[in-house]
Homo-oligomer: A and B are copies of this chain.
Amino acid sequence: MNNATRFFSRAAGTMQESAIRKMGALGARGTDIISFAPGFPAPDVFAWAEFRDIAQSVLDGSDATVLQYGPTRGYRPLVEALPEILAGRGIRATPEQVIVTTGSQQALDLCARVFVDPGDVVLVELPTYTGAITAFRNTQARLVGVRQDRDGIDLEDLDRTLLAERAAGRRIAFLYVVPNFQNPTGLLVSLEKRARLLQWASTRDVLIVEDDPYGALHFTDAASASDTRPIKVDDTEGRVVYLSSFSKTVAPGFRVAWIAAAEPLVAKIEVAKQAADLCTGGLDQRIVYDVWKRGVLAARVPMLREYYQAKRRVMEAALEREMNSLVTWPEPRGGFFLWAFFGDAIDTDAMLEKAVGHGVVYVAGSAFFVDGRRSGFARLSFSAPSHQRIEEGIRRLAVAVREHTAATTSAPAPG
């Protein structure tokens, strides 16, 4: 077909492929490429035996509704379990205030559709999660970045940005934040800043979308559960839309996540989901529910914390050993990501070709900045590769960094 673009909507024209997925595909293609690109949980700690066992009992045929179209809100026992799970994080919610989504990506997409009109402003951290960026862009949001420091979003820059956008006559749809082990920086926002952020949102009447896929996975050598207290806990005005997921603690292949928010917001999100996919997979929801119900999840989370913490240590040690002064990073106190900075002289987009040549992949920082900047940052995921692969991957990366640095600094100055 020639000129297929004549059929496309303007929204389609602005849709962009995810850099993470592109890098992920690259990592999957090579025969010996070590990938630090995608934020994949490690399948070797999935509860395979329990999944098999549960799948058997769920599919025994006694409950015909398992494989039927299900309620858009979610499998009822799971919907009723979510308030209990949320209570464990300090969040009070009724079943009317929660909805199951087909992964958190759908939750982001539904938020975009229910809250954003073309041209509306979505405030995001600099840098922020690419999946959120693409979901918000697809509703033609105007994405406006706010600076972060080591303690998370910069509240002064946030207020200045908000006022400037409002002064320009633009509607602020919401502020998107990932306070726990942010993607890509791994940063943990302090409790004090969370409180001030919520206070600010109340004063300025801003809706907050709080994305919390990693909150359960703090590292005991650097943080405690109380440090991950969601902003939603203190939300007395119903202005926080809280997103979380079973993808990192159970398995992403089930595509089961959820939203907790004020009842009228959830009711509208349900209507949007109805048209988006009718319902989340029935077998998937039951397996996830049973994993929780049987206590498998509760029993495994402490193990997962240790498991990912150990990988983070391996990556940090390898970085120190292999490239010491060439790289810095904020210590990840939980989650899957290490946000490496190779200095202002490095462009990680330009360096990627060299890295791939040496058999290692990362996601260049540019993917996470809505202001379009290139930089010396790269997101390194330590979650999926083995200890040995992490060490080997960092060795390869060190070679690439040194080669790239040498090529850059020895290049003749422009004449």
Contacts and interface: CB of A to CB of B under 8 A. Distances in A.
Interface string A263-287: 1110010011011111111111001
Number of copies: 2
A266 to B, nearest CB: 10
B40 A274 contact: no
A19 B187 CA distance: 45
Contacts of A337: none
A225 to B, nearest CB: 26
A282 B253 contact: yes
A55 interface: yes
A69 B40 contact: yes
A4 B262 contact: yes
Nearest to A238: B1
Contacts of A5: 264
A350 interface: no
Contacts of A102: 102, 255, 277, 281
B275 A276 contact: no
Interface in A272-307: 272, 274-284, 287
A184 interface: no
Contact of A15 (B105, B139, B268): B268
Contacts of A238: 1, 4
Contact of A278 (B25, B105, B262): B105
A287 B12 CA distance: 32
A16 interface: yes
Interface string A39-63: 0110110101001100110011100
* Listed residue (A51, A69, A118) with the most chain B CB atoms within 10 angstroms of its CB: A69
A53 B24 CA distance: 31
A9 B115 contact: yes
Nearest to A285: B253
A108 B275 CA distance: 8
29 contacts: A1-B262, A4-B238, A7-B174, A7-B207, A7-B265, A8-B114, A8-B115, A9-B173, A12-B113, A15-B114, A15-B268, A17-B271, A21-B274, A40-B68, A43-B64, A44-B64, A67-B251, A67-B253, A68-B251, A102-B255, A102-B281, A105-B275, A108-B275, A113-B138, A131-B275, A138-B276, A253-B283, A254-B282, A281-B284
Given A10-B117, A283-B283, 4 more contacts: A1-B239, A9-B173, A68-B251, A131-B278
